[in-house]
Amino acid sequence: MKVWNPINNKKFETFSYLPPLTDAQISKQVDMIISKSLSPCLEFAAVESSFVSNENTVRFDGTSAGYYDNRYWTMWKLPMFGCTDASQVLKEIAECRKAYPACYIRLAAFDSAKQVQVISFLVQRP
């Protein structure tokens, strides 16, 4: 069994401990997202602002419940409301990768009934 080294080894979201996902694996995740009537959305961030640290975070008030320090990334276009096919999402991932090859890109999914993000994982690591 290996021990995860936390020094200079940043992890992001759900699948961070796995090797990068292939397009086929991403497609299966998107199929699941669509089957649950969730709305996929892409977000991206430069390496230096993609994680929370004391150097890149401005804290206004950390005492409130659900407070997030600098966890919001730039949205790639709008959420894909009404998306019915994983190929639509893979096309947008490819376009985002081409436009921002040096950025982290993550796929998020939103639940319109609960009004919250319920899934988030990286689809590109720089």
Q: 52 is written with which tokens?
A: 């929370």
pLDDT tens track for 7-51 = 766 667 677 777 889 999 999 999 999 999 999 999 999 988 777
Q: Dihedrals φ, ψ of 22, to 5°? A: -80, 165
**Contact, 43 vs 105, CB < 8 A?**
yes
pLDDT tens track for 58-107 = 555 555 555 555 567 899 999 999 899 999 999 999 999 999 999 999 99
For 8-76, what is the HEC assignment? Answer: CCCCCCCCCCCCCCCHHHHHHHHHHHHHCCCEEEEEEEEHHHCCCCCCCCCCCCCCCCCCCCCCCCEEE
pLDDT of residue 19: 83
CA dist 106 and 124 (Å) reads: 7
**Contact, 123 vs 76, CB < 8 A?**
no
Which domains, and CATH codes, for the chain?
A: 23-50+70-124 (3.30.190.10)
